[in-house]
Amino acid sequence: MNLYPSVNYIIILLTIAIGTYNPQALSAQIEDGVYLANSDGQKHELKISGDYLTWSVYAESPAKFIKTLGGFYTVDGEKLFVNLEFNSDYALDGVKEVSHPVRFSMNQIIINEKLTFQKADDKTQELDGLWLFATRGPDTGQERRGDENPRKTLKFLLDGRFQWIAYNTDSFEFHGTGGGAYTSKDGIYTENIEYFSRDNSRVGATLEFNYELKGNDWHHTGKNSKGEPMYEIWAKR
């Protein structure tokens, strides 16, 4: 039996004593969830799952998409680092990595000491997770577009919020995004659009589809925005 406390244990005791203990900074991972902030009439939305993060900014009235970025993140001390997979402003700023001062409070993320994100309520649903577009259905063993393909369409669903993003990890071309609130229940998947980079007038639309989970695949069927039959297969990332 070791009668001497570990160095980490001593550090934790000392930091608790002076009120600076931050388990998230030590673990270098933020609690999964959706975090929301408002600044100058703009809504900021962080979605975090595992080591992946997306950050989207948009206005509600009038509806206007502003920007989005996302990728794999780490927290080192009081710095948030994101190795980007996509950046809607890349053609303007050429940015592939970002870092921000960060600290944590109860259910909050404070970035740059200016923007306070509050964790939204947990709304776990069957389709929560990161999904990559794989192929058009039905599944007949056809070739799929996997994670190794630089051309990606990602869907990120978490706690009642959804976002899709189309991008290229080699060229860093950004092809579009949209997001908002969603529900998935009893085989019915519904999206309520709150931002759409290609056409702000689409905000407020509600889209309803059928869904079925088969192993790690999400079979997504219904009609597209033109009223044409649609069958997509998305694979869990």
How confident is the model at residue 23, as a pLDDT? 43
Cα–Cα–Cα angle for 151, 157, 161, nearest 5°? Answer: 125
What tokens appear for 156 in the block? 């990120």
Q: How far is it, in rounded angstroms, from Cα 86 to Cα 72?
A: 10
How confident is the model at residue 220, as a pLDDT? 98
Contact, 177 vs 154, CB < 8 A? Answer: no
pLDDT at 176 over 50: yes
> Which pLDDT tens digit goes with each residue over 54-84?
999 999 999 999 999 999 999 999 999 999 9
**Could you tell me which of 215, 234, 237 has the C-alpha nearest to residue 136?**
234
Q: Which residues pair with 180 in a beta bridge?
A: 162, 193
pLDDT at 12 over 80: no
Contact, 123 vs 160, CB < 8 A? Answer: yes
Residues in CB range of 51: below 8 A, 6 or more apart: 29, 72, 73, 74
How confident is the model at residue 14, as a pLDDT? 34
- Please report the DSSP string for 81-118 in residue order: EEEEEEETTHHHH---EEEEEEEEETTEEEETTTEEEE
How far does Cα 75 stand from its chain's mean position? 17
Q: How far is it, in rounded angstroms, from Cα 166 to Cα 3?
A: 55
Q: Which residues pair with 233 in a beta bridge?
A: 135, 219
Instruction: With cut-offs at 50, 70 and 90, classify the pLDDT of residue 148.
Output: very high
pLDDT at 131 over 80: yes
- Please report the DSSP string for 175-218 in residue order: EEEEEEEEEEETTEEEEEEEEETT-GGGTT-EEEEEEEEETTEE
Contact, 87 vs 94, CB < 8 A? Answer: no
Residue 137 φ then ψ, to 5°? -90, 175
How confident is the model at residue 28, as a pLDDT? 59
Q: How many CB atoms lie within 10 A of CB 15?
A: 15
pTM attached to this predicted model:
0.87
Q: How far is it, in rounded angstroms, from Cα 34 to Cα 45?
A: 7
